[in-house]
């Protein structure tokens, strides 16, 4: 884990500076952030509030099962986010109508999950257009390498401030920034079905995945070398990246 330790203070300054510079260069003042109640969006919010004025931050909590706004509402209030900038919107009816229109079986969790992710992005971009804002993404490097995202859904954004950090590094930064313990201790989940957690779906922990991904992509170790270092799930992890690698090259075009 030593290779994945970060300097949280340095990262905080680098990321907040990146947000400020990007907004200035692109001619925007406002940002829309989708907050799920998870570690990535909570950490991103903590960074965002250090970078721009509260009046320029728009928060959207787009829930399917039940609202988790109470989990982080006090954080929004302490940051002086205006009430009119907080959107608590259920997406269940919209998803249900599309499910019926597209004839998606109840048991087809992946298709239904993709619809949820894409409906959320429709709402975020509509809020951005309405308020002359940019959409701030919350994707981390682990999700990016694994392809653990919905194309044109939770991956769609205008700014990605934490994509250079692995999931375990996001946790390090979250603790430094004072993200509430109940969020830090909660298992990462896209909340696409009851009891859904990322690690349960993936079949391995982020602690192991991050080191394997680091060794494979950044240290250029081959699979057998990584397995020999004591990572039994290395093949499963790299298989995830291989099967989803096409997501990083879309759309395919004539050159």
Instruction: Give mean pLDDT in consecutive 10-residue pieces for the chain, a chain of 255 residues.
Output: 86 98 98 95 97 98 93 94 97 96 93 95 98 98 96 96 98 96 83 76 92 96 94 95 93 92
Type and span of the H or E element at 226: helix 223-228
Q: Which of 183, 112, 184, 188 is nearest to 153 (CA)?
A: 112
Which residues on neighbouring strands pair with residue 134, listed in sequence order? 31
> Do residues 161 and 15 make contact, with C-beta atoms less than 8 angstroms apart?
yes
Which are the contacts of 29, defined by CB distance < 8 A and separation ≥ 6? 23, 52, 56, 132, 133
Q: Give 127's strand partners.
A: none
pLDDT at 190: 72
Q: What is the CATH number of domain 2-192?
A: 3.40.50.620
Helix (H) or strand (E) holding 60: strand 57-63
Domain boundaries, the chain: 2-192
| Cα–Cα dist 172/102, whole Å | 41
Buried (b) or exposed (e) across 187-213, using 16+ Cβ within 10 A? ebbbbbbeeeebbeebebebebbbbbb
What stretches of 64-173 adopt beta strand conformation (E)? 86-90, 133-136
Instruction: Note the pLDDT of residue 177.
Output: 97
pLDDT for 250:
87
Amino acid 1: pLDDT: 44
Predicted local distance difference test score (pLDDT) of residue 199:
85
């Amino acid at each position: 884990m030593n290779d994945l330790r970060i300097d949280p203070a340095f990262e905080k300054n680098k990321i907040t500076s990146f947000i400020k510079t990007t907004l200035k260069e692109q001619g925007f003042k406002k940002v829309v952030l989708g907050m799920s109640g998870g570690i990535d969006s909570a950490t991103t919010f903590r960074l965002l509030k250090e970078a721009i004025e509260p009046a320029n931050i728009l928060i959207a909590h787009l829930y399917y099962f039940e609202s988790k706004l109470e989990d982080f509402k006090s954080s929004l209030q302490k940051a002086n986010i205006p009430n009119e900038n907080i959107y608590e919107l259920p997406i269940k009816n919209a998803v249900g109508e599309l499910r019926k229109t597209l004839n998606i079986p109840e048991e087809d969790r992946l298709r239904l999950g993709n619809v949820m992710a894409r409906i959320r992005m429709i709402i975020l971009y509509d809020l951005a257009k309405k308020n002359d804002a940019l959409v701030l993404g919350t994707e981390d490097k682990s999700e990016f390498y694994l392809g653990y995202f919905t194309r044109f859904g939770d991956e769609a954004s205008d700014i990605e401030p934490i994509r250079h950090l692995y999931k375990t590094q996001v946790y390090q930064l979250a603790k430094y920034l004072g993200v509430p313990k109940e969020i830090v201790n909660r298992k990462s989940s896209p909340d696409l079905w009851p009891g859904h957690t990322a690690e349960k779906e993936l079949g391995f922990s982020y602690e192991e995945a991050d080191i394997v991904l680091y060794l494979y992509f950044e240290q250029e170790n081959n699979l057998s070398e990584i397995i020999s270092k004591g990572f039994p799930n290395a093949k499963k992890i790299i298989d995830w990246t291989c099967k989803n690698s096409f997501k990083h090259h879309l759309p395919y075009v004539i050159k």
